[in-house]
Chains A and B, each alone.
Chain A
Amino acid sequence: MSVNFLIHRAKEIQAVIDANASEIEKLDQEIGDGDHIFNVQRGIKLVIELEAVIKDLPMSKALNQIAMKVLSGIGGSSGALFGTLFMTMAKGKDIDNGVDYKKAIEIFADGVEAVKQRGKADVGEKTMMDVLIPVSNCLKKGVEDNKDVKEILKEAIEVAEKGMFSTKDLLATKGRASFLGERAKGHIDPGARSSQLMIKTVCESVLNS
């Protein structure tokens, strides 16, 4: 995983998110306040705009720049959560000496754990953590079991989708959807949908390369 890799995946994510924007917006209008898609689109755009600044930087510095950008540029809870993800990844040991897939999975999992701490949300609360935590666990287990990287990524895509769909019947206990109590049931969480799309895009891109 190089800085170039990050920039390219961000561009692919932008295309996928844009293509699904109206669906995500609709999900958010049903159980949130409707601004999630704009936050995600703004965040991705800000990261892509960093290309010239970060392309020649070591991995740790590039990730830190991304973290600060989404933190101040998105703002609110989403900015803090995504900022925490990248900031924690930036702290990964020896990442400036090259990041293979095992290292990438390790720092991603550390990042997800930090996001879980920051937002104090776990699996089952109808948030993006219903996608990120199972995916992180699946990736770690794949490495532990010495599975082939392609197999691990295929599994991660499935786990992400399952996690995303699982939010449909959950009661929200974190975030704005928790206003609605029972009324939020029957709707997929928009944050779970956008993060599932991002995971899928990155995994498929690596599988097809």
Chain B
Amino acid sequence: MKKFMNSADDFLKESLQGFGAAHQDIVNCHYDPNFITRATPTKEGKVALISGGGSGHEPMHGGLVGYGMLDAACPGFVFSSPTPDQMLAAAEKVDSGAGVLFIVKNYSGDVMNFQMAAEMMQGPNESVLTNDDVAVEDSSFTTGRRGVAATVVVEKIVGSLAEHGGSLQECKALGDKVNKNSGSMGVAFSSCTVPAAGKPNFDIGDDEMEFGVGIHGEPGRRRDKMKSAQEITNELLEAINEDLKPEANEEILLFVNGMGGTPLTELYLIYDNAKNMLDKKNIKISRSLVGNYCTSLEMQGASITLTKLDEELLKHWDSSVHTAAMRWGV
């Protein structure tokens, strides 16, 4: 294992400290229990958005804390769910009285821990469960589909609604809608190594790829031989389209997400290949996002997410955002 680290025990702490120091104009990092909040307190009457999950998926979720997106993020240990004490401490810090919306990826550890936090919380709260991964109907980790890259889209769009005065119920409803309007699928070329484990999460041959992979390298649809980028892209899009069924002339967001170890050069190549295929089907790409947003440590691989956009979703996608990882309109 080659990693920038001093000790596995201090890995997360040192990374959080660096993140907090590098972005002190945007975030505040709190320790024991660990959570990240905006540098400024929540505006009175604004619904507070809290997300979280295992670390190793950066910039999700800490990099998505800031104006127009999350109010707080709770990082667990690498690939391990955060615990309710983190969520409760974060909620206490950022709840302005308008309630808390938890945004949770559908992985069993995350679901159980957020569920417990919600039960223990005194104030009004709701949860949005993302499950955009079309690769599996019954995943290895959870009952049902996994929550992956579309979580970023949910956080952006609901973040905007919350910023513009949406109520807790309205934010919850919009979150569910964005999730329902989204589909994702990923592919991995290489494995990734959790610092504490010290060895790769899974074995994969030089000429192989894991098709339909989850964001921890867990298996999806099948182990395949390598193919051309256009073939891989077509297969990913076909799987998503089969589930999402976008109609001709329907507007969509095309989100090409890197898993951490694939260069932007290749992500843009995927974007080009995806555009080729969507153009043929007369599906209108009206918004784009390309980059490493929902990663799996150093894994080589990528995922594609499509989100069907209506006027409401477009408006909230375009509104200004100022986080460590996403910034526009400011």
Query: Could you tell me which A residues sit within 8 Å of B by CB distance?
Result: 33-34, 68, 71-72, 75-77, 79-81, 83-84, 87, 118-120, 174-176, 178-179
Contact A68 B85 (CB under 8 A): yes
Contact B116 A77 (CB under 8 A): no
Q: Looking across the interface, which residue of chain A has its beta carbon closest to that of B33? A: A72
Contact A84 B116 (CB under 8 A): yes
CB A28 to nearest CB in B, in angstroms, measures 13
What string of 1s and 0s marks CB contacts (under 8 Å) between B94-112 and chain A? 0000000000000011001
Q: Of residues 229 to 272 in B, which have CB atoms within 8 Å of A's CB atoms?
A: none
Q: Out of B83, B108, B115, B219, which one reaches A72, CB within 8 Å? A: B83
Q: Of residues 183 to 220 in B, which have CB atoms within 8 Å of A's CB atoms?
A: 197, 218-219
Contact A119 B218 (CB under 8 A): no
Contact A118 B112 (CB under 8 A): yes
A178 with B109: in contact, given A71-B84, A71-B116, A75-B80 (CB under 8 Å)? no
CB A208 to nearest CB in B, in angstroms, measures 36
Query: Could you tell me which B residues sit within 8 Å of A by CB distance?
Result: 33, 76-77, 80-86, 108-109, 112-113, 115-116, 140-141, 143, 197, 218-219
User: Which of the listed residues B33, B108, B116 has the most CB atoms from chain A within 10 Å of its own CB?
Assistant: B108
CB B146 to nearest CB in A, in angstroms, measures 13
Contact B80 A178 (CB under 8 A): no
Contact B141 A83 (CB under 8 A): no
Contact B83 A71 (CB under 8 A): yes
Q: How far is the CA of A120 from the CA of B197 in the complex (A)?
A: 28
A119 with B85: in contact, given A71-B116, A179-B140 (CB under 8 Å)? no
Q: Which residues of A sit under 8 angstroms from B219, Cβ to Cβ?
A: 179
Q: How far is the CA of A188 from the CA of B112 in the complex (A)?
A: 25
Q: How far is the CA of A80 from the CA of B87 in the complex (A)?
A: 13
Q: How far is the CA of A176 from the CA of B139 in the complex (A)?
A: 10
Q: How far is the CA of A179 from the CA of B77 in the complex (A)?
A: 22
Contact A75 B81 (CB under 8 A): yes
Contact B116 A76 (CB under 8 A): no
Contact A178 B84 (CB under 8 A): no
Q: How far is the CA of A52 from the CA of B224 in the complex (A)?
A: 56
Q: Which residues of B sit under 8 angstroms from A87, Cβ to Cβ?
A: 116
Contact B113 A79 (CB under 8 A): yes
CB B120 to nearest CB in A, in angstroms, measures 9
Contact A81 B85 (CB under 8 A): no
CB A63 to nearest CB in B, in angstroms, measures 15
CB B215 to nearest CB in A, in angstroms, measures 15
Besides A75-B80, A176-B140, A179-B218, 20 new A-B residue pairs in contact (Cβ under 8 A), listed by A number: A72-B84, A72-B86, A75-B76, A75-B81, A75-B82, A75-B83, A75-B109, A76-B76, A76-B113, A79-B83, A80-B113, A80-B116, A81-B112, A83-B116, A84-B112, A84-B116, A87-B116, A174-B143, A178-B140, A179-B140
User: Which of the listed residues A33, A79, A174, A176 has the most CB atoms from chain B within 10 Å of its own CB?
Assistant: A79
Q: What are 27 of the A-B contact pairs (CB < 8 Å)?
A: A68-B85, A71-B83, A71-B84, A71-B85, A71-B116, A72-B83, A72-B85, A75-B76, A75-B80, A76-B80, A76-B81, A76-B109, A77-B108, A79-B83, A80-B81, A80-B109, A80-B113, A81-B112, A87-B116, A118-B112, A118-B115, A175-B108, A176-B140, A176-B141, A178-B140, A179-B218, A179-B219
